[in-house]
């Protein structure tokens, strides 16, 4: 990964392989934490199936996790300004509304 400085800020050039760039679809997430880490599990659950498949696990420190939350809130705000409010639904692991 190469880095460049620009106007007092660190510019990071991100390198990504083609398989990672394709992304992974998930429709369920679980979060747990300890004093020093947050663990995000991203899963895929098929309709009417009792099992979910773990697709990715991200382990992050509390400072980065809080920055991620702030970035997510900001991006949801921008999304809803452009495309409209995202409906809130109560999903449970056992079934979807």
Coil vs helix vs strand at 29: strand
Residue 72 lies in a domain: yes
Distance CA 28, CA 61 (A): 21
Residue 31 lies in a domain: yes
Q: Tally the domains of the chain.
A: 1
Residue 90 lies in a domain: no
* Tokens matching residue 33: 């934490």
pLDDT in tens, 11-50: 999 999 999 999 999 999 999 999 999 999 999 999 999 9
96 versus 33: the higher-pLDDT residue is 33
pLDDT band at 7 (very low <50, low <70, confident <90, very high): low
* Tokens matching residue 29: 């997430």
Residue 44 lies in a domain: yes
97 versus 5: the higher-pLDDT residue is 5
Residue 20 lies in a domain: no
Residue 95 lies in a domain: no
**What per-residue confidence (pLDDT) applies to 92?**
55
Residue 4 lies in a domain: no
Distance CA 4, CA 11 (A): 5
Distance CA 85, CA 92 (A): 21
**What per-residue confidence (pLDDT) applies to 89?**
80
């Amino acid at each position: 990964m190469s880095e460049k400085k620009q106007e007092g800020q660190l510019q990071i050039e991100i390198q990504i392989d083609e398989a990672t760039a394709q992304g992974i679809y998930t429709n369920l997430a679980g979060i747990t934490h300890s004093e020093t880490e947050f663990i995000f599990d991203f899963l895929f659950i098929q309709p009417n199936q009792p099992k979910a498949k773990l697709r990715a696990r991200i382990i992050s420190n509390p400072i980065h996790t809080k920055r991620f939350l702030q970035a997510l809130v900001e991006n949801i705000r921008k999304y809803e300004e452009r495309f409209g409010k995202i409906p809130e639904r109560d999903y449970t692991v056992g079934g979807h509304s």
